[in-house]
Structure 1
Amino acid sequence: MREGPGVWPPPPLVVGGLLLLAYLAGWALPLPVHRPLAGAGITLAILSLAWGLWALAVMRRAGTDPRPFTPDTQFVGTGPFRFGRNPIYLGFLGIAAGLALWWGQAWGWLAVLLAFLWLDRAAVRKEEAYLRGRFPASYPPYAAKVRRWV
């Protein structure tokens, strides 16, 4: 069986690492950009986590492994994948944005931006090329009608 899209390091580690660096930077050199919005931040983070878990559940139910370095066995275009091609990554970004709201620090927003850029350029583009080759009958029409993010 073919290998997966070859995304490495795993996206949760990249996003988590950026958030950890942002938190530490905010502690060492505070750069407040707004007052901390804990309620809004926690709400956004929880909703984003639920969104990502829904996408993971849909992939598991379809019988495919959601890890981006393993081969896909089924094409999935249902559930949250109807609204955007990368709901798990969108969930990661929503969690990161929720933490940035909570912290109120420029570092958190920088982490969100860097996470988005890395996901979009390093992970998503590799996965899209892989999916076009792996599912040539179903992925291209899906990609033509469903947006990359939302």
Structure 2
Amino acid sequence: MHIPPPVPFTLAWIAQSLIVRKNRDTPVPVLSRAAGVAVGGVSLALMGGTVAQFRLGDTTIDPARPDRSSTLITTGPNRLTRNPIYLGFAGLLVAHALWRGSLTAALPVAGFVAAVTPQIEHEEDALMSRFGRAYARYVGRVPRWVSWR
């Protein structure tokens, strides 16, 4: 069963909002707000850049139909992470937690990652079937999320 990525993202966002609801009168440090804006901006740029690369490659961005991929995109944001759109969604959740000044509000990010991992695995299987060795080489050099090297 495919769950569109915006669904777990929205549920995590709502969970974050409920977590911080009781502390909404607590002042949030300016640095936390600024970090939230920065992380949010980078996340949106990552997602937008990815969509642009997929459009240039004339391939699908539909996670429900990875079998429709016509081109293996390994440039742009995809040279840094195999899942830049999912990473962008996670980044937006981190940005939201920073904006709200709540470390606890970052907890739903883990729930989001857990919720989308089966979809990512499905996409990886489809891409491996479609692109074979080229995809295997890509997997060998580009991390699923981020590299700490």
| TM range, smaller chain | 0.7 to 0.9
Aligned match of 1:3 = none
Aligned match of 1:54 = 49
Q: Which runs of 4+ in 1 moved over 3 A?
A: none
Higher mean C-alpha displacement, 51-60 vs 16-25: 16-25
The size of the alignment, in residue pairs, is: 140
Aligned match of 2:39 = 44
Gaps of 5+ in 1: 1-5
Aligned match of 2:107 = 110
Per the TM alignment, residue 107 of structure 1 is displaced from its structure 2 partner at its CA by 4.6
Letter in 2 for 1:81: N
In the alignment, structure 1 residue 22 sits paired with structure 2 residue 19 = no
2:12–2:93: 8 Å Cα contact kept in structure 1?
Answer: no
In the alignment, structure 1 residue 9 sits paired with structure 2 residue 3 = yes
Higher mean C-alpha displacement, 50-59 vs 37-46: 37-46
1:23–1:107: 8 Å Cα contact kept in structure 2?
Answer: no
In the alignment, structure 1 residue 136 sits paired with structure 2 residue 141 = no
Per the TM alignment, residue 26 of structure 1 is displaced from its structure 2 partner at its CA by 2.4
Per the TM alignment, residue 106 of structure 1 is displaced from its structure 2 partner at its CA by 4.5
Select which of 55, 67, 75 maps to 1:78: 75
Higher mean C-alpha displacement, 132-141 vs 34-43: 34-43
How well do the aligned residues superpose, as a CA RMSD in angstroms?
2.0
CA distance in 2, matches of 1:106, 1:23: 12
Letter in 2 for 1:88: I
